[in-house]
Chains A and B, each alone.
Chain A
Amino acid sequence: MTHTTTQITSPPKPSEILLHLGPQHPLQPGPFLLDLKIEGETIREAELKIGYIHKGMEKVFEDRTYIQILPLTDRICYLASNSNNDVYCRGMEELLGIEPTDRAKYLRVLTNELCRIQSHLLGIGEYTTDVGFLTMFIYMVREREGIVSLLEAITGSRLNHNYARFGGVAHDLPPGYKEMALKTLGELKKLVKSHDEMLSSDSVYLKRTKGVGVLTASQAKELGVAGPPLRATGVEYDLRRVEPYLVYDDLDFDVITQTDGDVFSRVKVRLLEILESIYIIEQVLDQMPTGPYKQNVMPYITRPAPGEVYSRIEDPRGEMGMYIISDGSDKPYRFRIRGPAFATAQALPPLLVGTYVADVAAIAASMDSCTSEVDR
């Protein structure tokens, strides 16, 4: 299979301009460089250069003890910090041969889904502001506030939660949490439905999104794209269903798909996934077992037996995986992160060829890529 070149090979002709979007540009959530060769308003070639905020996390992790790594996983992508904690802890639990308590499993599902909701809300918000619709961004941030408060009530922090632990979680639910959560989520459900209606019926918005930046299913699979951009192409691939972890086996939910693979579908998938996550959380709050939320003896100084493990999770942005090799010491021998945003970022330049300059913002934002995670 051939796909469009993602490198600008020749200097621009007299009728063309080489336009740098970045490393500083209002479009961007973080620094990256998008070189566009444009003729008039049409993009002829596109090239993405990353690495402006490379933090060398995987190498840093090799020099930290296992428990020291845990808070650092938050910083891979601050919008998905719960998922990152969880996937790391599940990998470590497999290495250590322990199992989280039942209540901890449910608590992790709860926080992961809350994390997904707030990430999707901000993702949609950033997208709408990139097509010039600031109002919806502010509505989304307003709605996100309630979810962030729910997360804060459990984890104690609003952004980098650092909640999961080896074999458990850090805190139990505060008293009266269920009522508080159901109230907030009930309101959110109504608001998200009305926003969905508003976006689906806005003719200017439809003009900007329908049929723009179409990613085909085969292209997406080839580039390793997962999560909402893949499901928007009609592929029913969701790790929660394909390879159920924690307690997703016991929960009832649908895998949201759309068929078109365009910008509109990607945003629609996120909107509907918020509703699905609310449904999951309602079940979790109903079925939450009593019992300890962590192991009686937390393994603080951990020396797992030599071995290796790969654990993965359905991140808000796609498939997040961590590969840990232990040599029996208290630090990992090798650590590798497979981030979802890297895959979606590399799908971007081929989509841009042939579109207009104005669509760059729409397509890039609809992929909901996270520069911090791309560069790690």
Chain B
Amino acid sequence: MGIFVDIYDAIMNFLIFFFSTWELAPWVRGIVGGAVIGGVFGGALVMVYLERKFLGDIQSRIGPNRVGGRFGLLQLIADAVKLFTKEDIIPANADKWLFIGAPIVALTSGFLMVAVIPFDLLVIKGNEYALAVSTMDVSILYLEAVSALAIFGIFMAGWGSGSKYSLLAGFRNIAKMIGYEVPLGITIISVAVMAHSLDIVEIVKAQSSIWFIIAQPMGFVVFGIALLADVGRIPFDQTEAEEELIAGWATEYSGMRWGLAFFAEYFHAVVGAIVVSLIFLGGWNGLPLIGNLWIPGIFWVIVKAIFVMMGMIWVRGALPRLRIDQVSDIGWKVLIPLAMLNLVWSTIIGLMWA
């Protein structure tokens, strides 16, 4: 075990050299940002593969098993080749610039979210360095704000496609998001109240003794449900309900444009899973009571995020889709009151803790 820690430390020391030249060299941020985006991109690929295999297990199917050996490891590459070579169609009725811009906006929102996500906290020579592209005092609020940008992407696609199905999906998305961004925001505030900070790094540091999933389980449940709605997965995938709206807002997209839209969704799901692992599951802190086990923090984050992803896939395999009015009902009548209750709870507990 020791040798791995040494290697890891050596790599991290090298990175710290970059961090220490932070002000001097803006290109360093560029490199780190590129690496993190690439990493989360890889995470999205892992999620797509996991979804196919794990959902296959739940549904007693095999999943991809031809391309790239018996585990279908290269299936995604084959899919990408297919998407790249397909014809790119912009419907005559479409509003061209909105149509083209929609997947870009959706994906950009995901990229912006990645900027503030810390993957580890390195303590070297008494100084703390968060392994993130950018650190800011209100990073969790920033995260909430840029994640909401994706709604514009979906509505742009819904309006710009010039199709009735897409338009209905756009309406549904707006209705859903108004209902679900509120409980999401309130739960984030509850977490911030307990951690006495809006900085994700501080929030994770506050969980070194006890995870917030234990301190405020209700908050975790509300956040989890609202997150599922936010990333638009079953039972909240009304915006692309196949049996009702064909493919919802993505109906008119084809080729790589559709691929981008599809990827933006998985990107959001992965970032959402990482955020859950950071603000509720203790982030880079190891298991409670047991501790870190000398495993570098970044692996804890990844492992926890994968568990959250598997939870999302499991929910998809186990539940039917809700109707849009029921979705709004749950958002306004159940989640918001629960989130407020949780805010009261976390304020009381947080004050006692302080």
Of the candidates B167, B237, B318, B323, which one forms a contact with A208 in the assembled complex, judged by CB atoms under 8 Å apart? B323
Instruction: Verify A204–B324 contact, CB threshold 8 A.
Output: no
Of the candidates A19, A135, A207, which one forms a contact with B322 in the assembled complex, judged by CB atoms under 8 Å apart? A207
Residues of A contacting B: mostly: helix
Residues of B contacting A: mostly: helix
Q: List 10 A-B contacts (CB under 8 A).
A: A26-B246, A41-B168, A41-B324, A41-B325, A132-B237, A142-B60, A204-B235, A208-B321, A356-B325, A358-B241
Residue positions of A touching B, CB distance < 8 A: 17, 19, 25-27, 40-41, 128-135, 138-139, 142, 202, 204-205, 207-208, 356-361
Distance (Å) between the CB of B159 and the closest chain A CB? 14
- Known contacts A138-B60, A139-B60, A204-B235; A129 and B243 CB within 8 A of each other: yes
- B24 in contact (CB, < 8 A): no
Number of B interface residues, CB 8 Å?
30
Residues of B contacting A360 in the complex (Cβ-Cβ under 8 angstroms): 244
CB-nearest residue of chain A to B318: A135
Give A130 to B323 CA distance when docked, in angstroms.
12
Residues of A contacting B59 in the complex (Cβ-Cβ under 8 angstroms): 134-135, 138-139
Distance (Å) between the CB of B353 and the closest chain A CB? 35
* Most A Cβ at <10 Å: residue of B167, B243, B322: B243
Give A128 to B319 CA distance when docked, in angstroms.
10
Instruction: Verify A133–B246 contact, CB threshold 8 A.
Output: no
Give A204 to B323 CA distance when docked, in angstroms.
9
- Known contacts A132-B234, A139-B60, A207-B326; A361 and B319 CB within 8 A of each other: no
Of the candidates B168, B318, B319, which one forms a contact with A357 in the assembled complex, judged by CB atoms under 8 Å apart? B168
Sample of 16 further A-B pairs with CB below 8 A, known A132-B234, A207-B322, A358-B238: A17-B164, A19-B165, A25-B246, A26-B246, A27-B243, A40-B171, A41-B324, A132-B241, A133-B321, A134-B59, A134-B317, A135-B58, A202-B319, A204-B319, A205-B319, A208-B322
**Docked complex: B227-246 residues within 8 A CB-CB of A:** 234-235, 237-238, 241-246
Residues of B contacting A361 in the complex (Cβ-Cβ under 8 angstroms): 243-244
CB-nearest residue of chain A to B56: A138
- B30 in contact (CB, < 8 A): no
Distance (Å) between the CB of B182 and the closest chain A CB? 21
Give A202 to B266 CA distance when docked, in angstroms.
27
Residues of B contacting A19 in the complex (Cβ-Cβ under 8 angstroms): 164-165, 168
Residues of B contacting A358 in the complex (Cβ-Cβ under 8 angstroms): 238, 241, 244, 321, 323-324
Instruction: Verify A135–B244 contact, CB threshold 8 A.
Output: no
- B34 in contact (CB, < 8 A): no
CB-nearest residue of chain A to B319: A204
Give A146 to B164 CA distance when docked, in angstroms.
42
Residues of B contacting A133 in the complex (Cβ-Cβ under 8 angstroms): 319-321
* Most A Cβ at <10 Å: residue of B164, B320, B326: B320
Instruction: Verify B321–A131 contact, CB threshold 8 A.
Output: yes
Distance (Å) between the CB of A209 and the closest chain B CB? 9
- B333 in contact (CB, < 8 A): no
* Most B Cβ at <10 Å: residue of A132, A138, A360: A132
Distance (Å) between the CB of B243 and the closest chain A CB? 4
Give A106 to B31 CA distance when docked, in angstroms.
77
Residues of B contacting A40 in the complex (Cβ-Cβ under 8 angstroms): 171
- Known contacts A131-B320, A138-B61, A358-B324; A26 and B243 CB within 8 A of each other: yes
Distance (Å) between the CB of B104 and the closest chain A CB? 27
Distance (Å) between the CB of A117 and the closest chain B CB? 19
Give A197 to B305 CA distance when docked, in angstroms.
32
Residues of A contacting B171 in the complex (Cβ-Cβ under 8 angstroms): 40-41
* Most B Cβ at <10 Å: residue of A17, A139, A208: A208
What 7 pairs across the A-B complex have the smallest Cβ distances? A132-B321, A133-B320, A361-B243, A358-B323, A138-B59, A131-B320, A130-B243
